[in-house]
Amino acid sequence: MVIGFYIKLISDTVPFLNKARSVHIIMNSQEQNMALVAISNPITSGRISTIMKEKNWTFVKTSDGDEAVDYYVKNKPGIVFISLDLSTINGHVTALEIREIDPGARIVFISSKTRISKVEDAAYSAGAVGILTTPLTKTKINEKWDNFFLEIPEAPGLADLDTLYPEIKEKEEEENILPPLPPLPPLTQIPDILNFPQENKRKRKWIRIILPLVILSSLTLYFLLNQGYIKITKYMP
């Protein structure tokens, strides 16, 4: 009776499952919703941060090139907004280092209209996915937003990365070199130990012999007095 009930239940359920629609769950990872804003101008940096917040993207701001690279290594943000005038290392080198670490990094250069020529060269060198000019508006970003997530260009500047900042490499190498040792004194300043007076040697030799004997005699006398073997009495004439 019970077995028949389960057989009927299964037979009624299978057709329903065959007709049911499949459900796909799409999850957005935290990396795709995180932006790195590496821009020295606080007004431009704040404007981009506000727009990212409106898009429900988290963001981190910095104006230091080294910090930007370190942050990217640890967090792998989905997009990087960067300007040329960063501290420690400039934005061009920063972008190349990020692309060297992650060929899939999406980098957007931010530029003023007066520096657009240099920024275009840097963007081509680092394989940036786009360029935005200041003053920034939400409309400007929205117009190019979809293009930022298309195919990532090659970064031809990676071949010349080492030559772009030789002074930084030389400074690091200098810091790793140990300071030179002080020069040795000339041989003429070393005292001749063979010319020391022999008399002083003889005196030191006798002192080394006599001093232990005196100490040993004193200890022996103290022991005999303490044990009562020797008594000292006052002489009365």
Task: Find where tokens 């006798």 sit.
Answer: 206
Domain that holds residue 203: 194-227
- Give the pLDDT of residue 215: 80
Task: Round to whole Å and give the CA distance between 151 and 148.
Answer: 8
Task: Find where tokens 């008594």 sit.
Answer: 231
- What band does 204 get if pLDDT is binned at 50, 70 and 90? low
Assigned domain for 80 exists: yes
Query: Are 88 and 49 in contact, with CB atoms under 8 Å apart?
Result: no
CB atoms within 10 A of CB 153: 14
Are residue 89 and residue 200 in the same domain, yes or no?
no
- What band does 202 get if pLDDT is binned at 50, 70 and 90? low
Are residue 158 and residue 204 in the same domain, yes or no?
no
Token pair of 102, please?
Answer: 């992650």
- Give me the long-range contacts of 211-215 (CB less than 8 A, separation at least 24): none
Could you report the per-residue pLDDT of 96-109, keeping only the tens digit for each? 999 999 999 999 99
CATH number of 110's domain: 3.40.50.2300
Structure-model confidence comparison of residues 157 and 27, the more confident one: 157
Mean pLDDT of 209-215: 76
Are residue 122 and residue 205 in the same domain, yes or no?
no
Element (H, E) at 49: helix 42-54
Alpha helices, H only, 105-165: 116-126, 138-145, 161-164
Mean pLDDT of 80-88: 95
- Give the pLDDT of residue 221: 72
Amino acid 220 reads T
Token pair of 16, please?
Answer: 């329903």
Q: Indicate the residue among 112, 142, 163 that finishes a domain.
A: 163
- Give the pLDDT of residue 103: 94
Are residue 148 and residue 209 in the same domain, yes or no?
no
Grouping H, G, I as helix, E, B as strand and the rest as coil, residue 35 is strand
Are residue 137 and residue 95 in the same domain, yes or no?
yes
- Give the pLDDT of residue 160: 83
The number of domains in the chain is 2
Positions of E strands within 184-235: none
Task: Round to whole Å and give the CA distance between 128 and 122.
Answer: 8
Token pair of 92, please?
Answer: 């061009």
Flag whether pLDDT at 31 surpasses 90. no
- Give the pLDDT of residue 231: 64
Flag whether pLDDT at 173 surpasses 70. no
Distance set, CA 142 to CA 19, 39, 87 (Å): 41, 19, 29
